[in-house]
Amino acid sequence: MAKKKNGLFEWVKIILIAFALAFLVRTFVVSPIVVDGPSMQPTLEDRDHMIVNKLKYRFSDMERFDIVIFHATADKDFIKRVIALPGEHVAVSDNVLYIDGEPVEEPFIDKDNNWLHTEDFRLEELPGGYEKVPEDHVFVLGDNRNNSTDSRSLGVIPMDEIIGKTNVIYWPIKRMQIAN
């Protein structure tokens, strides 16, 4: 009888350790996310299932064009692309992105597609009225500029609201890829 109790205790212990490890990994290392809506088309599709790397920015700096997940509201997370980094000025004129007055190519945007047209703007005309992206903030846009709630309406995003970087689509299987 003692052996049976001991064996049961070992199984309970193994299961509790597995749940604890899964909780820690999901909380601090990686977690799944499902794309909700068309704001990142054509790069990401509605209902794409992705992995969020929560450790990436603890060990390396954020880079222009990273795809990030951030807390947009208390109960809603958004997925967008980092366009401008701290200390940079951002503008779009005639569908061309300018960082600090220099044109920047956006390889993920199909310029021949009219539905991807970006309305002209300058950073100082947007919420916050900043001349440059403040320290510890980034400017984000959706790839589908005509159908995206992003820094043009939300303002710059504090880096401490960023959950992590994502670029791995794992579902549906036919879309499995590393998105850029």
Task: Report the alpha-carbon distance of residue 93 to residue 140 in Å, rounded.
Answer: 17
Q: Indicate whether 10 belongs to any domain.
A: no
174 is catalytic: no
The residue count of the chain comes to 180
CB-based contacts of 108: which residues, under 8 Å, 6+ apart? 43, 65, 81, 143, 180
Q: Indicate whether 157 belongs to any domain.
A: yes
Name the active-site residue from 80, 132, 148, 151: 80
Name the active-site residue from 4, 5, 31, 39: 39
Alpha helices in 30-163, H assignment, sequence order = 56-59, 151-154
Task: Report the alpha-carbon distance of residue 93 to residue 112 in Å, rounded.
Answer: 16
Which residue range forms the structural domain that includes residue 121?
31-178
Q: Is 132:64 a contact under the CB 8 Å cutoff?
A: no
Counted domains in the chain:
1
CATH assignment at residue 133: 2.10.109.10
What is the per-residue pLDDT for 115?
55
What is the per-residue pLDDT for 68?
96
Q: Indicate whether 7 belongs to any domain.
A: no
What is the per-residue pLDDT for 113?
64
What is the per-residue pLDDT for 118?
79
31 is catalytic: no
What is the per-residue pLDDT for 60?
85
Angle 79-83-118 from CA coordinates, rounded to 5°: 90
Angle 156-143-108 from CA coordinates, rounded to 5°: 120
The secondary element (H helix, E strand) that includes residue 14 is helix 2-28
| pLDDT per residue rounded down to tens, the chain (180 residues) | 556 667 787 888 888 888 888 777 777 677 889 999 999 988 999 999 999 998 888 888 899 999 999 998 888 999 999 999 999 999 999 889 999 999 999 988 866 665 567 789 999 999 998 999 999 999 999 998 888 999 999 999 999 999 999 988 999 999 988 888
Q: Indicate whether 3 belongs to any domain.
A: no
Three-class secondary structure of residue 65 per DSSP:
coil
What is the per-residue pLDDT for 107?
86
Q: Indicate whether 63 belongs to any domain.
A: yes
